[in-house]
Amino acid sequence: MLALRLTRSAHPAVQLRRLLVAAASAGTGFLLLCALGHALGHPDTPASSMLRLAWCAAPLAATVYFAIAVARTDPGTRPRPGLSAVGLGPARLMAISAATTALSCTLGSTLALLVFLHLRGDLTGMPFDGAATDFLAAGRPLPLPAALTLLALVPLSASAAVAVALRPREPVTGAARGARSYGRFGAYRRTAVRESFGAYGRFGKQSGAAARGRRTVVPAPDREGAADVLETGSETGPGPETGPETGPETGPEDVAGAPPSAAHTQPSGLPWGIAVLAVGLAVEALASRTGAGGAAGGRPAALLGLPLTAVGLALAGPGLTHLCGRLIQTVRPGALRLLAGRILMAEAARIGRPLGVVCAVMSAAYAMASLQDGQDASSGPLVTLGVLLVAGCTVATLLTAAVEARQARAGTTAALRRLGAPTATLRRAAALRAGALLALFGPLTLVVAELSAWPLAR
């Protein structure tokens, strides 16, 4: 009941995102039911029916991925101070998010069942003069347990994925993370063991930022903007020694609003993504070179490289986004380029993965377009529906991730405005980020699409 009340009282933008999840669930459920109908209408070709059912894995994965992104941006289930006192802790909020996702997906699955039954003629007369009876199994009894099992795949998968993605995690504080400090003879250490007075006097631990009276930035798990950095700086005052170095420091990194650890930590998936992408392209080229790529039975060998290239682009997305932010700041950057680059570097993990998935879907769709001449004409509408569903879910996931990133840097934007930054500067920084990402990922998508389509078109 609480999940239903939160669903009803949500913002219209949140309701729109939930309706989009329901629409994606309806499309995926309809494709699953069509695969069941083809199996009922063609019992002599089980391999073809199994291939249609396996092809529905891509829309299912895209729908689940989109549902996770929507659940992350839901403000009604976000942990806030005081909710634990009334019994709404992180675990309860995670359960509410999973229940809300299950409600949206169940609504979509119910709509898919009603549309499928209507097209079969079970509810009313046969529409479209029976033109779609090939994959509907009209005139045959529909096994209700099998249909309900297929329709339950989307709600169960989406709710389980949301529960795993939003599961409560132990906060990692600065003391637990272990700040870098200097021990004996300049060695790094991460323990809290105190040095003797002689070691302190000889090797000068007072050379650190805290001993000189500089402002220290205490890392925190929820530190996301310049407001927190400035607040930490105001709480830490100068030490007993005063001098030219004891005053407050305001650098470009603080103005950019990204934590130094988040901005300088490069995602580790770039080498793996490049390796998997190269393996996928090599598999497609090998299938084409052996002469099997153009044969009807050899095209599946070339199609094996498409999932590998998609996974490679998805893995390399955060690293490429981080690299793009670093390239913006090269060659004596100004305040605008520095701000845009630092934000890209800090949000590489949040924006890069959906962006890589969008590039993978576009390249795969371009490569699959070369196979349309040999496909059955009766499956054309279903193929179009599946492609539109996957592309729409991935693009909507990218836009939802952008909304999540905007919400995450709300404190940074407020701090910049308090410092006197004009709104036009923030808009130009956003346009610069979008243009840099388009300039990097656009040609990359075209190159991968051409290399993937070349073996399939032969």
**For 52-57, what is the mean pLDDT?**
87
Q: Which two tokens stand for residue 231?
A: 């607040």
Is the model's pLDDT at 256 over the cut of 80?
no
Q: Minimum mean pLDDT among 27-36, 146-155, 227-236: which range?
A: 227-236
Nearest residue to 382 (alpha-carbon basis) of 38, 123, 18, 4: 38
335: its two tokens? 């305040």
State the DSSP H helix or E strand holding residue 182, giving kind and residue range, or none if neither. Answer: strand 181-182
What's the pLDDT at 50?
87
Maximum mean pLDDT: which of 150-164, 174-188, 281-295, 397-411: 150-164
Q: What is the pLDDT of residues 259-299, one digit of tens each?
A: 455 555 778 888 898 999 988 888 877 776 665 444 444 45
For the segment 383-406, what is each residue's pLDDT rounded down to a tens digit?
888 889 999 999 999 999 988 888
- Residue 305 vs residue 124, higher pLDDT: 305
Asked if residue 212 has pLDDT above 50, the reply is no
Question: Would you place residue 117 in the very low, low, confident or very high pLDDT band (cuts 50, 70, 90)?
Answer: confident
- Per-residue pLDDT at 164: 92
Bridge-partner residues for 189, per DSSP?
181
Instruction: Report which residue type is found at 109.
Output: S
Q: What does the pLDDT average to over 134-163?
A: 87
pLDDT at 376: 54
User: What per-residue confidence (pLDDT) applies to 24?
Assistant: 95
Report pLDDT for 171. 58
Site of tokens 């891509």: 58
- pLDDT band for position 119 (cuts 50, 70, 90): confident
Query: 90-94, 259-263, 441-445: which has the minimum mean pLDDT?
Result: 259-263
> Looking at residues 407-417, what average pLDDT do you find?
87
pLDDT (tens digit per residue) in 334-370: 889 999 999 999 988 889 999 999 999 998 888 877 6
CA–CA separation, 167 and 164 (whole Å): 5
Of the candidate ranges 25-29, 241-245, 286-290, 431-435, the one whose mean pLDDT is the lowest: 241-245
What is the average pLDDT value for the chain, to the nearest integer? Answer: 75
Question: Which band of pLDDT confidence, cut at 50, 70 and 90, is reported for residue 39?
Answer: confident
Looking at residue 59, its pLDDT comes to 93
Asked whether residue 58 carries a pLDDT value surpassing 70, the answer given is: yes
* Distance separating alpha carbons of residues 3 and 22, to the nearest angstrom: 16
Helices in 152-196 by DSSP H: which ranges? 153-165, 174-177
Q: Is residue 251 over pLDDT 70? A: no
- pLDDT, residue 215, reads 44
Q: Is residue 111 scored above 90 in pLDDT?
A: yes
* Nearest of 266, 401, 398 to residue 345 by alpha carbon: 266
Residues in the chain: 458
Bridge partners of 226?
Answer: none
pLDDT band with cut points at 50, 70 and 90 for residue 408: confident
The upper half-sphere exposure of residue 45, i.e. CA atoms within 13 Å in the direction of its Cβ, equals 12
Q: How far apart are CA 168 and CA 24, in angstroms?
A: 27
